[in-house]
Amino acid sequence: MSPEEKRCVAFHEAGHAIAGWFLEHADPLLKVTIIPRGGGALGFAQYLPKEVALYSKQALLDRMCMALGGRIAEELTFGSVTTGASDDLNKVTQMAYSITALYGMSDRIGAVSYPGNKDQFDKPYSEATAKAIDEEVKKLVDSCYVRTRELLTRHAAPLKAVAELLLEKETISQLDIVRLAGDRPWPIPDALRDYLGATSKKSDSPLEDGSSDSKDGGGEGGEDATAVPLPAASSPSHQ
């Protein structure tokens, strides 16, 4: 990576980390690195998923916001965005369609479920409903974008501090986030606290395989997207 690309990746990863740190339903961050990995991932993050089987609408919205954190950090810092957020946007789109048309969480669409179908000629709803779904999805994504932009603007100092530390150390842990951003305002379950503490003590080691992690599959040198665990979902006719 060029110095400019490396700086962009650092702020992108810092955006995910800070957004997730201040969102109640985000998963606890373990480590984040800007050391390139295989598969085109320029940045890489590990999160410890909570062991829950059910997600509320607010939990899904928080995950949408965390996924948007990288792109918005780029925008706030550099005044432009890159292709590094392609996988993030794919996750956000899937979650928005799931909220609206799969989980029955949209007041406008109602308590109905339209599972994704790749055959655009076999849709169990009208063109008017399809338009309404599209409008509701855009409304959801836009509101999460505004919310995340306000959050990262409010926490601009720790966002910059985390990015600069990533540029210096390349790999940082939860302990570094605590030092730079303060304690997380939302409690971490006791069952996870000991594991997080033990893992964070290895902050100088490379990220290890086998933990919950994700990478961008955008295909254009994309970097890591935030891990967003949720039930399998797909858009009704917008694959």
Is residue 236 in some structural domain?
A: no
Is residue 94 in some structural domain?
A: yes
Nearest CA to 222 out of 33, 41, 73 is that of 41
Helix axes 57-78, 3-21, angle to 10 degrees: 150
Is residue 49 in some structural domain?
A: yes
Is residue 227 in some structural domain?
A: no
- pLDDT 10s digits, 142-197: 999 999 999 999 999 999 999 999 999 999 998 999 999 999 888 766 656 665 55
What is the domain range of residue 63?
A: 3-214
3-state SS string for 10-41: HHHHHHHHHHHHCCCCCCCEEEEECCCCHHHC
- pLDDT 10s digits, 104-157: 999 999 999 988 765 555 678 889 999 999 999 999 999 999 999 999 999 999
Total domain count, the chain: 1
Q: What is the CATH number of the domain that holds 126?
A: 1.20.58.760
Is residue 44 in some structural domain?
A: yes
CA 128: distance to chain centroid?
A: 31
Is residue 221 in some structural domain?
A: no
- pLDDT 10s digits, 71-86: 999 999 999 999 988 9
**Whether 183 contacts 18, CB under 8 Å:** no
- pLDDT 10s digits, 10-49: 999 999 999 999 999 988 788 899 987 655 566 777 776 6
pTM > 0.75: yes or no: yes
Is residue 174 in some structural domain?
A: yes
Please tell me what DSSP assigns to residue 112.
-
Residues with a catalytic annotation lie at 13
Is residue 46 in some structural domain?
A: yes
Neighbouring-strand partners of residue 214: 45
